[in-house]
Structure 1
């Protein structure tokens, strides 16, 4: 179960946020995540609360106010090959939605399966 957090600089309209969330979910599904496994949130922060470097470490051009910080928390065990394929797919989908891939940072975080309680406090994998 991936938990996706997208942090953006305020304000962003619903269409902007939906295009990003839909692209992330489609790339996750293409990587093997079930279609119904969609848990996402958007953190929309004022500029004074969301600071980032415009060019670190190797950005072509410069980041702007449409910068996306995408964090994907998922169960441990996915290979680098799967991550690279997901990233390539995601960048294609974001570009098709009018988002600049150079304006996107993705961070994968892993946890073990026994750390997920999906509902009712039940640890299904423990």
Structure 2
């Protein structure tokens, strides 16, 4: 059920964005119970004029290695599950892609289950 958007500065490695997406998907499965095959992602790379951020907001020192991650999921996770998800993503990106934890920016959007249609014009989660 999650829809993941990942935005980064252009990277010379054409597989880099996909690697980030794999880490996020594995973290979603491990921490909040996302099932196998429920993997929907939009991966975007931007030039410096189209990737804007404050390098020191809230005292966190960010670099051009910043990774914006926006996850839309159905509502119902606890605060503890969300915190575990954020940490799992940050840790995984550090290990698998060398991303500094300061450069992991996550925005979680929760929606009601009736706000999803996975195809055929049907709200599959509505009972």
> One fold, TM greater than 0.5?
yes
**Is the Cα–Cα contact under 8 Å of residues 70 and 107 in structure 1 kept in the other structure?**
yes
Match of 1:90 in 2: 89
**1:15 Cα offset (Å):** 2.8
In the aligned structure 2, how far is the partner of 1:30 from the partner of 1:5? Answer: 19
Gaps of 5+ in 2: none
What stretches of structure 1 move > 6 A for 4+ residues in a row?
A: none
Q: Does 1:67 align with 2:66?
A: yes
1:15-71 deviation per Cα after TM superposition (whole angstroms, max 9, x unaligned): 321221111001000020002100011121111111100111131xx3222110000
Distance 1:82 1:12, change over 3 A: farther
In the aligned structure 2, how far is the partner of 1:38 from the partner of 1:119? Answer: 14
Matches within 5 A, 1:25-104: 25-31=25-31, 32-59=33-60, 62-97=61-96, 98-104=98-104
**Is the Cα–Cα contact under 8 Å of residues 29 and 35 in structure 2 kept in the other structure?**
yes
**Is the Cα–Cα contact under 8 Å of residues 18 and 43 in structure 2 kept in the other structure?**
no
TM-score by length of 2: 0.91
Gaps of 5+ in 1: none
**1:12 Cα offset (Å):** 4.6
In the aligned structure 1, how far is the partner of 2:72 from the partner of 2:105? Answer: 14
TM-score by length of 1: 0.92
